[in-house]
A and B are shown apart, each in its own frame.
Chain A
Amino acid sequence: MAAILQLDKVTKTYRKGENEVHALVGVDLSIEPGEFLAIVGPSGSGKTTLLNIVGCLDSPTSGGVLYNGTPLGGLKEDQLSEYRKKHISFIFQSYNLIPVLTVRENVELPLVIERKLSKPEVRARADKVIAEVGLAGLEERYPRELSGGQEQRVAIARALVKDPYIVLADEPTANLDSRMAEEIVDIMREINRTRNATFLFSTHDALVQKHARRIVTIRDGIVHSDERK
């Protein structure tokens, strides 16, 4: 199967004062559609940097990323925004919901930004995804009125509402207890299975790793192992 994402000798170097920090060193990775892939490694190993580069939030110092065979390097700011808007969704460790928007408005946000659907279509799509993540009935609540697990479900619903090809999740269960973490992983797996969305997530969580079908281990910015189950 053709790769949806292809990382070709991706290197990322930061300057920290007078020192150079090598966050990623010559990473080669090929990711196929529908994968449920965990990126693991100790803190500071380069997991988040890898996700940021794939999500076009950051650019590699050298090497390149191909999306469906198209290189993402050299895209202008507005083109990068367009790429993120259409193809990528994010789930953050600390949920990062917009506090002044209700659950429904948070979930609708990516569709509203995309400006492809009519208002009723946006509403219907959002309500459907909210129900899928088990939050039906809480549509009018604000993030401050939700538990951590509920907030992360909203974040997942927000990530999935536009049917993205790729979902990038940075430590999605790090702030949750084990029961809640299991529920969130179950939801992600179910959506991966039913919608064939590609999931890439960084994690320390053994439970999440247990459910992943492919585990890429990074240490000091270098891919140390790449196991498929």
Chain B
Amino acid sequence: MGTLFKIAWRNVWRHGKRTALTIVTMAFGLGLYIGMDSMLKGMDRGGLDNIVNLSDSSVRVTTSKYEEERGSFPLEYGIDDPAALESSILDDPRVMAVGMRTRFVGSMSNGTDAIPVLAVAVDPVADAKVFTLPEFVDGTWFGDVGERQIVLGSGLAADLGLRLGDWVTLAARTRYEARNADDFRIVGLIDSTEPAINNSGVYVSFEDAEGFLELEGLRTEVVVKMEHRVNLKDAMADSDALAARIEAANPGLSAQSFGEVGRQFLELAKAKSKGVGMIIVVIMLISGVGIANTILMSVYSRVREIGVLRAFGFTPREISRLFLIEGGIIGFVGSVAGMVVGLGLDLYMIFVGFPLESLFKGVDLGMPIWGTLYGEWNPEQFAVIAVVGILVSLVSSRSPARRASRMEVTNALRFA
């Protein structure tokens, strides 16, 4: 095996340009695949981050009964002692912040038209520690003005022809089913990466909601922000563990882990990954043809050498193995080079990111463009690349290797 490898290794580099071209093609394709995979996973992550950072948090705790009737956002199932729950959740070292919310259904009017809305009462300071909504606000995330304030999604405001500083009428049923309506001044407009919030988000402070909805301290949701994890699976596992711990310690409460939502989201993203799968098939097909061609050229440039090796006692199997090893070497080096290129792209995407906003500003792509798209670290993809790269190279080399092993020795020795 040592001699076979030595001959194969040196022959691979004997026609350096040919080999380098195959390796570069392979490395570029595989590297690009890793980069694309990172970007697409980053987009998935971006979507999930939207859920975590803008709407649902890492773990969302409600009473079990509230969760059962969640579709109607009832104001009758509040958490018994939200402060005690908050303090117990904060004991977990991976928890960064805890906030509270109360959702309610109402309708909003600009004086002419009225539309139904799902509003959220928040503690502006605590909520800003759990969610990143204030980063997307034009105006202010609640100020100290002394009048009833409201923050709206920019799309919703546009639908009602409302601007920053305008007054809007919000109507809703109180905790005790009494109808109530009041005017609120628009202090902020949200233009976030989450279209649902832009199109229907309505936020008021607990300070204003207390009297408006007769809350008397009622909090229907406790929301939790956990420390950021580079790997999505780790982030989901953290959320799952915390949710399980909360439910175990608090019978009657229901803790919705971001992992649960994440898994449903990723299920939907699977269709997208099929497209990526097709890309790797195409890349591997191109690489395979390149390797097969390189090995075939190697066979035909060494016909006499094959004859000599056979004359000195090499069996057909050993001749075949010689060329399979050559293909394997090209596949291995190509895969490693592809991993290096992919690692570079991956690290760039993770730490620098793809500046969506500056590149596509003013271009209507039919999707919300904001900020920077970051890649997602996915080490499994590197292992897949290595295995698939080497397997493809071996399969591609099989046919030329077989052809070499079947050559008539006398014809090979006569070959000019």
Contacts and interface: CB of A to CB of B under 8 A. Distances in A.
B323 to A, nearest CB: 14
A96 B307 CA distance: 9
Interface string B142-182: 00000000000000000000000000000000000000000
B234 interface: no
A113 interface: yes
Nearest to B307: A96
Contacts of A158: 312
B315 A101 contact: no
20 contacts: A57-B413, A81-B310, A81-B313, A81-B314, A81-B315, A84-B313, A85-B313, A90-B311, A90-B312, A92-B413, A94-B304, A96-B307, A98-B305, A98-B309, A99-B14, A100-B10, A101-B6, A110-B312, A112-B2, A113-B3
B312 A85 contact: yes
Q: Which of B11, B310, B413 has the most CB of A within 10 A?
A: B413
Contacts of A86: 313
Interface in A144-173: 158
Contacts of B305: 96, 98-99
Interface of B: 2-3, 6-7, 10-11, 14, 304-305, 307-316, 409-410, 413
Contacts, number: 63
A110 B3 CA distance: 11
B315 A77 contact: yes
Contact of B312 (A78, A101, A113): A113
Given A92-B308, A96-B305, A101 B7 contact: yes
Interface string A96-116: 101111000100011011100
A57 B7 contact: no
Given A81-B310, A109-B3, A110-B312, A100 B413 contact: no
A153 B56 CA distance: 82
Contacts of B315: 77-78, 81
Nearest to B414: A48
Given A84-B312, A96-B304, A113-B3, 8 more contacts: A55-B311, A57-B410, A58-B409, A92-B413, A101-B6, A105-B6, A110-B312, A110-B313
Contact of A77 (B2, B308, B316): B316
A52 interface: yes
A105 B7 CA distance: 10
A82 B310 CA distance: 10
A122 to B, nearest CB: 10
Contacts of B410: 52, 57-58
B297 to A, nearest CB: 16
A113 B4 CA distance: 10
A96 B308 contact: yes
Contacts of A77: 315-316
Contacts of A89: 312
Interface string A68-93: 00000000011001101110011010
Contacts of A57: 310-311, 409-410, 413
A112 B6 CA distance: 12
A118 to B, nearest CB: 13
B219 to A, nearest CB: 77
Interface in A28-82: 52, 55, 57-58, 77-78, 81-82
B374 to A, nearest CB: 47
B413 A96 contact: yes
A113 B413 contact: no
B165 to A, nearest CB: 81
A86 B305 CA distance: 20
A200 B308 CA distance: 18
B311 A114 contact: no
B314 A98 contact: no
B312 to A, nearest CB: 5
Please provide the 7 A-B residue pairs with the shortest distance between their CB atoms, ordered closest to farther. A85-B313, A100-B10, A57-B409, A96-B308, A81-B315, A112-B3, A113-B313
Nearest to B7: A100
A110 B314 CA distance: 9
Nearest to A81: B315
A52 B412 CA distance: 12
A96 B408 CA distance: 16
Given A57-B410, A98-B305, A114 B313 contact: yes
Nearest to B9: A100
A52 B409 CA distance: 9
Contacts of B311: 55, 57, 84, 90
Q: Which of B7, B304, B313, B316 has the most CB of A within 10 A?
A: B313
A97 B11 CA distance: 14
A9 to B, nearest CB: 21
B15 to A, nearest CB: 11
Contacts of A96: 304-305, 307-308, 413
Interface string A114-141: 1000000000000000000000000000
B124 to A, nearest CB: 74
A160 to B, nearest CB: 12
Nearest to A158: B312
A105 B11 CA distance: 14
B401 to A, nearest CB: 16
Given A57-B409, A100-B10, A109-B3, A82 B313 contact: yes
B9 to A, nearest CB: 9
A58 B307 CA distance: 12
Contacts of A100: 7, 10-11, 14
A96 B314 CA distance: 15
B7 A98 contact: yes
B19 to A, nearest CB: 13
Contacts of A55: 311
